[in-house]
Structures are given as structure tokens and as C-alpha cells.
Structure 1
């Protein structure tokens, strides 16, 4: 008795859109929604199609393609031997336009190793109390920073600078700016 034939992989824009969402969810966590609840799940697509769509999404995402770049890229893929069809290109383009921002944010969060500065506030106060009488009524800069990772509870840091420390910090920031300017001009 002959083995039963497997049904062909699902075709059509909805099936390809669901495949792209699944591939994006693995490669770029939190970037795309899965198929809507209650929608029937299709047979698993062939590995070759999944791998091809994954490679295309990786290329598109790593270049953070705008609509013109995307159109040129997908047109080239449709003309390539073993490439994609124009219908697949249309689904990919629609998917990218809908999920570009989320995929970009996912790539950024994956590339961060440490905490980031989420928010910063500052003000200048006058000291009203001090151990030394000559420090009363002197200005101080109060800097409050919110530091943390996305999706995690933040930490708050409060710094107090007198006039000398503010001058030193401004000098260091100027040195950093000069170094950055030199580096960007040389490239």
C-alpha cells in the first residue's frame, strides 16, 4: 500500500502572513502578533520556505529598509532564480510596513547589554542648611536620573553638584563632544 500523500503547504496571503509573524516572533521577540485566536492552524510550512522567509526578514530588518529600498529588494528577489513570487513580495511588503517599528525596537533591545537612561530631571536649589555657615545660600544643582532596562523596574539616582563640580562636569562633557566630533569627521 502506498504512503498517503501529504497535503500541500498552505498557500495564500493569510498563510504567508502567519508564517512571517511566526518567523519574526522567533527572530525579533515581541515584534509581531501571531495568528488571531480562533483562526485554524495550518500544516507546518516546509523548512525551505520558513528558512527563506527568515533570511529575507533578517536582510530587510538588518538594513532597516524604507519603502523604496524594500521595493527594490523585493523586485530583485522576484527576478532571482529560486526567489519569491510577486504575490509573496506583496505580502512581505505589507508585513514589513505593519511591523517595521516593532522589529526595529526589538533589535535595539536585543543589542543593549546594560541599563539605559530612561529619564533625567534637574533643578538648581539654594542650600538652606549646612554644617558650615559659609555654604548657606549657595546654589546646588540637583540631578535625578531614572535608569533601567525596558520592561523592568527602574532605579533612581539623585546627584548633587556644587558650582565647582558643575564646571568640572561641563568641561568633561566638552572633551567628550570634541572626541566624538573628531571621530565622526575622520570616518
Structure 2
């Protein structure tokens, strides 16, 4: 089956590839304008509505199964082989088209699922530098090094928020100690499993 997935789809496979892409656009990329009627009219105009509904349901289920498991190519091949052998499953030609679709769309669908699962802002970028204070209310703080940490927070598609933090040597050491404790806890938890 791997060799079949590499060759370009025959003319009969183009509507199925279009259907899979339409399912991905509607389900994972928020394109509400892609409806069952639009897909049927554009890709399968000669197919009865009930027959198309069954095909759409089957392909939607397969795409959702593949995407939710984030299947690699070996898992995909095993899954599609099982689908071709079960009664009412898919044909080997359909399996080849699905494999081609997943190979091209996996990264985009995965990113979309990750973005949909985020509730809060995430760290998009971080930069830091060390400066010397040249002005201060207290004379003893002049010429002391400070660490400046700048964080860019936000969600994809939205304007970012910027947060700037300033640490003197004592605060930086405290933060490094806490980060070390967190690292040790994560290490001990992962080694226990």
C-alpha cells in the first residue's frame, strides 16, 4: 500500500481527495461555509444525497480517528489496512488517497487541534539581556547588574501582550532555585513512570 500512496491519484480519486480536504477545512480550520451540500454539489453531483451522506460520514469518521490519534505513517498503514478488511470498510484505492491526504495535512491538522485546545495565552517568544543600572532612587543600586526578561504572550491570530520583568541578582538566584526544584520534580515524576 505504501507504493500506492506515492503515485498521483487517478481521476476517480480526485473527488475523494477534495472531500477529505473539505472535511479538514470544515472540521479543523473553522471554514463554516464548507457544507455537506457544497461538497456534494462540487465533488459528487451525480451521487444520491443518501449515498453521499453515508460516504461523508464514513470519511469524516476516518479523518477524525486518524487526527485524534495523530497517526504516524506506520500506524496509518495498519489502520487503513484494517479498514479495507472490515465489512463496509474502504477500498484499497480509497486507502491510498487517505494516506496521501494525511501525509500532506498531518502537520496543519495537528497545529489546528493544538490551537483549539488552548484556553489561555501561551508563550510565543522570550528574550533577555543583562543591563547595568545607571539611575536609581538609592545610590547603592547604581552600576548593579539586572536581568531584563521580556515575554510575548498570546494566541495565534490575536494581538500579543508583552510583559517585561526585571530581576536583581538576589531575585534571579531565587527564581533559578525554584526552576531547579521544578526540574527535579518533573525528572523524579517521569522516572517513576
**Corresponding residue for residue 21 of structure 1:** 21
**Corresponding residue for residue 12 of structure 2:** 12
In terms of mean alpha carbon deviation, does 67-76 or 132-141 score higher? 67-76
1:118 positional shift: 0.6
Cα deviation 1:37-60 (Å, max 9, x = unaligned): xxx813366222111111111111
| Structure 2 alignment gaps of length 5 or more | 1-10, 35-40
Maintained 8 Å contact 1:122/1:141: yes
> Does residue 41 of the first structure (1) align with residue 47 of the second (2)?
no
What secondary structure does 2:124 align onto?
strand
> Counterparts of 1:55-70 in structure 2 under 5 Å?
55-70=61-76
Give the length in aligned residue pairs: 170
**Corresponding residue for residue 114 of structure 1:** 120
1:30 positional shift: 6.0
Question: Partners of 1:30 and 1:146 in 2: how far apart?
Answer: 25
Question: Partners of 1:183 and 1:19 in 2: how far apart?
Answer: 44
**Corresponding residue for residue 82 of structure 1:** 88
Question: Partners of 1:168 and 1:100 in 2: how far apart?
Answer: 42
> Does residue 123 of the first structure (1) align with residue 129 of the second (2)?
yes
Question: Partners of 2:178 and 2:166 in 1: how far apart?
Answer: 17
Maintained 8 Å contact 1:141/1:161: yes
Question: Partners of 2:64 and 2:53 in 1: how far apart?
Answer: 16
**Corresponding residue for residue 52 of structure 1:** 58
1:131 positional shift: 1.0
- Provide the TM-score with structure 1 as the length reference: 0.85
Match of 1:99 among 105, 109, 131: 105
**Corresponding residue for residue 171 of structure 2:** 165
Runs of 4+ more than 4 Å apart:
none
**Corresponding residue for residue 38 of structure 2:** none
Maintained 8 Å contact 1:17/1:92: yes
Maintained 8 Å contact 1:115/1:149: yes
What secondary structure does 2:146 align onto?
strand
**Corresponding residue for residue 153 of structure 2:** 147
| Structure 1 alignment gaps of length 5 or more | 1-10, 35-39
